[in-house]
Structure 1
Amino acid sequence: MKRIIKSKTILYSILLGSIILSTTSCNKDFGDINKPWDNKVYTPTIPGLYTSIASSMAENGRPLFTSHLYQASQLAASYSASGYRLDDKSSASWYNYYGALIDYNKTMELIEKDSAVARMTNIKAMLKTLISLKTLANTTYYGDMPYSEAGKSYLGAQYYRPVYDKQQDIFSNALKELKWAIDNFSTSTSQMSLGSADVLLQNDLSLWVKFANSVRLRYALILRNKDAAGADAIIADALSKPLLEPAEYISINPAKITGLQIDRSGTFRGNSYIRMGSTIWNAMSSSAATDGSGIYDLRTKIFFEPNKAGQWKPYPQNPPAGTEAETANGVVDGKNNDPYAEARTTTWLAPGNYLYSPLNYYYVADRTIPDLIITGSEVSFLKAEIYNRGIGGVAANPATAKQFYNAGITESVKFWYKVANSSTIWVVNKPAAAPTDGELSTMLANSNVAYSNTVATALTQIYRQSWLAMFHQPYDAWVLQRRTNYGTPFTQLAPTSEVLDLNKLIYPQAEASSNAVNWRAATNGADDKSKKPWFMP
């Protein structure tokens, strides 16, 4: 029976299975590391704890991104107020991070106590890469947060209520940890291997270096709003070291983990009222023609589909008075109006009606699409931005910026064609394995895509295409939107919008009671989603 991810616990079980199957190879390398720790309840091991941390890299908080972050980033629109409350759903990423931080601290403790610590430098670098990425991501979501004293509750009561560190200090330390990892990965044969336990990158050290360095480059660009000199030094150093190539990406990938499926369909039903929005439609089509004749972006028909009547009809991001109401998801008058209903796998035309273009059913329902952590396309757009702006120790170079810009678009399109074509459930309007050279050339030459000779316009294009390439990464698209001061495609929202001025996530409600003193010091007693984190302009 196939197992389907709906939580970190299930993913952990799947990944742990791969470790159990490879016990012999792990024991060969680890020896004393696998001996029981002096705890009567359980026996933590480095491979097992690493697996727990690796499992936490998967997407989390899906009800949040389908109900809030898709419309906040404007990668989609919501035709009705979500049934999910922000303060209820914003805690998933918080607890995901702190669970991983505990595992990280315990793993590092085991490593430092072991007599073979000198042979585990690569493992330390892997762990530092993963937790540094999670740290930087989490602070861009929430702002100030517990860090230096956090994840150590197993050491005693003095760590039960950790202080909130300033975001600036968190950025500084996490970026230093990434540099340590990049500088210390070693090809020495004396280094121990995690064997099959490294389900993320299969012990490919060159890819680990690219991963860590690409993450460092991403967050250096975010840092630059507040510390240009410090960021430029990091950018210059990152550009001198290996980075992800345009076609490379880091992910939790069902194709590489036996029995793994990633089920995201449930979060598009029920209380998530998601449709294609007017903002993204205007970034993918040159006209409002409902027959789709204005579509120039080759990913449009992979991400979205026409409404029940076969028309391409976006829901307005800020619906004016008189906007025709969408029919509710679910069964209405005996007919199922839900475009995300599972029955569409076998019966494509739903019996009911939906007026606005939904996300493509197959994109929602396919359980083999990898959870993307960072992609070579994103790195290409970061490079395009650097050469467009002339920062990080490089001179502005429009030709080089254009080269990376085109590479980012090209590889994003190729990736989604490959994903859609490899889907075993995709039947209706299934794309080819890859776009033709002619199709790509036509898209890149379109007046809405072709790299502009005007520097400011070209920068806007870079942000737009990076945002589009992050369709499957709404958290990262939201960060991009905020770090560019809303430089990604954006429509001013109505004053009543539930995502108006969503500049940070709300801290979990439990923080106000269990860590009250430190929570009050960080929030002045009132947590506010509109408060800008330190990194924002």
Structure 2
Amino acid sequence: MKKIRKIMVASFLILVVAASCTGSFDEINTDPDAYTSVPYTNILANVIRRSADQFSDLDIAQWAGYVSEVQYLNDYAGYIPTNNTYGNRWSHCYWGHVQLQDILNRTADAEEASKNMRNVSILLQNYLMFYNVNAFGDMPYFQAFKGSPEDGSILQTPYDKQSDIYPQLLANLKVVADSWSTGLGQDDLGAGDFLFNGDVSLWQKFCNSLRLRIAMRISAVYPASQSIVEEIFNNPGKYPYITESDDNAYFWWQGSGDYYERWYNNFLSRDDDGMADIFIDHLKMMNDPRLSVYAKPARTDGAYRGYENGAANDPVDRHAISRIGAKFREDPAGFTPFYRACENYFIMAEAALNGWNVPMTAAEAYEKAVRLSMEDNEITEAAADAYLSDAGKWDGTYARLYFEEWVALFKQNVEAWSLYRRTGYPTYIHTAKAADGTSPKYPGARSSFNGIHNDVPFRFPYPDNQYQYNKEYVEAAAANIKDHVWGEQLWWDTRTGVH
């Protein structure tokens, strides 16, 4: 199945180019073989592929506490905000939304006949907007796709509050979930479905899983999250969600040319990133069998060793620092994860710990989540058993739950960064001095930007082009933001003592 998807990626991306590019407008009008409109499945293919590209986020792996720079220390290591890649991600979310809206506009008169394609398009639109609001905070949303180029309203759009955007995303996704709950459509998504190879039932599971992710993300500030989580977990017949590793939402790269897996692209030409000390030390302390999958032994002595994230200088011997494991960085046809089954069981465990009505106890859901993560990383059942009966044993605490979720989210770096911003775990990222004034083992996130910040960035910096073309609105939205990425925390980030 994976090989089929990889072949499809290459062939369909060629078709996307063929369908959407031409050197002459006259040729469009006169060539009977030329496309006059892009097939829906090609648009879908391009949005999925470009999302996998933009959201691979090796840089944010540092903010999530997974990796650390070991040479050419740059903006990411010192947490100096730049517009280098963040603006591309912002623009991709809006670009992708517009591409998918083209599908919706063209199928408006055939809603039932195009039920699956329309639902997938709406799902992905909300996936993109969730990514954007989760990374940037307040943003143009309700009026962002209205107006016309002639009056300039597309470029000059008010920013909406996160407290208004998140509930709307949940409402939009529930419309899709309810539509599919009455029966899947009959239309074929085509070969451009690079996530699930045309299996609409998996898109249905992805939709409800995304609802769970969003609801738990904002649960500290949005009481309705509880009813949403309970509704989904207690009605799997109506609202199925991803439960097994075989159903994970992975984008598999084709593995050649311009379509190498993005961390492999980095591996081919750079050696800037080693493993973070906090991640390696945690895995070693826990005797976690995933250590040898996530990381490679140091070249100098075969030991597993990380490096301080945010350090001012390169390590004395960069070859004494572990690198990212081959499974994640050295496979040209590797994967970009959009969603893993284990995440849903971590959400269920947290819900149970909160006292919410869900089908499993916190202990049962936690163990299921850990076993799925072990399976994702090809760890034997015996090794998983040993881990869960020893250091990984459930102890009834949020700390145990959040640390384990952090480990399992490796390579889903924005999600892990969000877990930290929401919960404060892993606590290693921001470590204060002990009560007796002694220094902690880890210095905590230190920024060389003005030397006043003690935490990783709270958000992405707003893109430069917003300050050029939407200056009034972006400056109002950024009024309480300090140094581009600190100051006011996101709506759902309720931590204290970070700045």
Query: Do they superpose with TM above 0.5?
Result: yes
Which residue identity is paired with 2:389? Answer: A
CA distance in 2 between partners of 1:95 and 1:58 (Å)? 14
Which residue identity is paired with 1:277? Answer: A
Deviation at 1:267, TM superposition (A): 3.3
Contact kept, 8 Å, 1:214 with 1:379, in 2: the verdict is yes
Deviation at 1:89, TM superposition (A): 2.4
Q: 1:390 aligns to what?
A: 355
Deviation at 1:48, TM superposition (A): 2.9
Contact kept, 8 Å, 2:41 with 2:191, in 1: the verdict is no
Measured against aligned partners, the alpha-carbon deviations of 1:363-422 in whole angstroms (never above 9, x if no partner) come to: 32212221110110111111111112213x449x7xx211221121112122122xxxxx
Contact kept, 8 Å, 1:480 with 1:488, in 2: the verdict is no
CA distance in 1 between partners of 2:226 and 2:182 (Å)? 29
CA distance in 2 between partners of 1:268 and 1:226 (Å)? 40
SS in structure 1 of the partner of residue 250 of structure 2: strand
In the alignment, structure 1 residue 144 sits paired with structure 2 residue 141: no
Deviation at 1:211, TM superposition (A): 0.6
In the alignment, structure 1 residue 135 sits paired with structure 2 residue 129: yes
Mapping 1:263-302, distance limit 5 Å? 263-267=262-266, 273-286=272-285, 296-302=287-293
Q: 1:522 aligns to what?
A: 477
Gaps of 5+ in 1: 1-10, 22-35, 287-294, 329-353, 418-434
Q: 1:347 aligns to what?
A: none
Contact kept, 8 Å, 1:276 with 1:356, in 2: the verdict is yes
In the alignment, structure 1 residue 535 sits paired with structure 2 residue 479: no
CA distance in 1 between partners of 2:166 and 2:202 (Å)? 23
Deviation at 1:254, TM superposition (A): 3.6
Deviation at 1:44, TM superposition (A): 3.7
Residue 179 (structure 1) aligned to one of 174, 177, 190: 174
Q: 1:513 aligns to what?
A: 468
Residue 91 (structure 1) aligned to one of 72, 78, 87: 87
Residue 70 (structure 1) aligned to one of 61, 68, 78: 61
In the alignment, structure 1 residue 82 sits paired with structure 2 residue 63: no
Contact kept, 8 Å, 1:149 with 1:163, in 2: the verdict is yes
SS in structure 1 of the partner of residue 332 of structure 2: coil
Q: 1:404 aligns to what?
A: 365
CA distance in 2 between partners of 1:360 and 1:191 (Å)? 42
Which residue identity is paired with 2:375? Answer: K
Q: 1:442 aligns to what?
A: 386
Deviation at 1:96, TM superposition (A): 1.4
Q: 2:242 aligns to what?
A: 244
Instruction: Return closer, same or farther for 1:275/1:130 CA change in 2, 3 Å cut-off.
Output: same
Q: 1:15 aligns to what?
A: 12
CA distance in 2 between partners of 1:365 and 1:152 (Å)? 43
SS in structure 2 of the partner of residue 213 of structure 1: helix
Mapping 1:449-464, distance limit 5 Å? 449-452=392-395, 455=396, 458-464=397-403
In the alignment, structure 1 residue 100 sits paired with structure 2 residue 100: no
Deviation at 1:474, TM superposition (A): 0.8
Which residue identity is paired with 1:326? Answer: V
Which residue identity is paired with 2:415? Answer: D
Measured against aligned partners, the alpha-carbon deviations of 1:17-41 in whole angstroms (never above 9, x if no partner) come to: 57899xxxxxxxxxxxxxx9xxx99
Contact kept, 8 Å, 1:79 with 1:315, in 2: the verdict is yes
In the alignment, structure 1 residue 224 sits paired with structure 2 residue 219: yes
Count of residues in correspondence between the two structures: 445
Residue 57 (structure 1) aligned to one of 51, 76, 92: 51
Which residue identity is paired with 2:493? Answer: M
Residue 360 (structure 1) aligned to one of 325, 331, 336: 325
Residue 154 (structure 2) aligned to one of 159, 176, 182: 159
Mapping 1:321-332, distance limit 5 Å? 325-327=315-317
Instruction: Return closer, same or farther for 1:190/1:365 CA change in 2, 3 Å cut-off.
Output: closer
CA distance in 2 between partners of 1:162 and 1:56 (Å)? 25
Q: 1:428 aligns to what?
A: none
Measured against aligned partners, the alpha-carbon deviations of 1:21-74 in whole angstroms (never above 9, x if no partner) come to: 9xxxxxxxxxxxxxx9xxx99524433322332223314265xx434x222211
Measured against aligned partners, the alpha-carbon deviations of 1:133-175 in whole angstroms (never above 9, x if no partner) come to: 1111210100011112224576653323222111111111111
Contact kept, 8 Å, 1:102 with 1:152, in 2: the verdict is no
Which residue identity is paired with 2:316? Answer: E
Q: 1:375 aligns to what?
A: 340
Q: 2:23 aligns to what?
A: none
Instruction: Return closer, same or farther for 1:491/1:305 CA change in 2, 3 Å cut-off.
Output: farther
Percent identical residues: 21
Instruction: Return closer, same or farther for 1:13/1:270 CA change in 2, 3 Å cut-off.
Output: closer
Q: 2:440 aligns to what?
A: none
Which residue identity is paired with 2:407? Answer: L
In the alignment, structure 1 residue 415 sits paired with structure 2 residue 371: no
Gaps of 5+ in 2: 1-7, 19-29, 432-443, 495-499
CA distance in 2 between partners of 1:480 and 1:526 (Å)? 21
SS in structure 1 of the partner of residue 339 of structure 2: strand
Instruction: Return closer, same or farther for 1:496/1:148 CA change in 2, 3 Å cut-off.
Output: closer
Instruction: Return closer, same or farther for 1:79/1:236 CA change in 2, 3 Å cut-off.
Output: same
Q: 2:252 aligns to what?
A: 253
Contact kept, 8 Å, 2:116 with 2:189, in 1: the verdict is no
Contact kept, 8 Å, 1:199 with 1:256, in 2: the verdict is no
Moved more, 476-485 or 436-445: 436-445
Contact kept, 8 Å, 2:406 with 2:416, in 1: the verdict is yes
TM-score of the aligned structures, taking structure 2 as reference length: 0.80
Which residue identity is paired with 2:90? Answer: W
Moved more, 309-318 or 251-260: 251-260
SS in structure 2 of the partner of residue 66 of structure 1: coil
Deviation at 1:257, TM superposition (A): 12
Measured against aligned partners, the alpha-carbon deviations of 1:333-383 in whole angstroms (never above 9, x if no partner) come to: xxxxxxxxxxxxxxxxxxxxx122222355322122211101101111111
Deviation at 1:501, TM superposition (A): 3.7
Measured against aligned partners, the alpha-carbon deviations of 1:190-249 in whole angstroms (never above 9, x if no partner) come to: 732223232322332321221100100011001211112x11121111212311113231
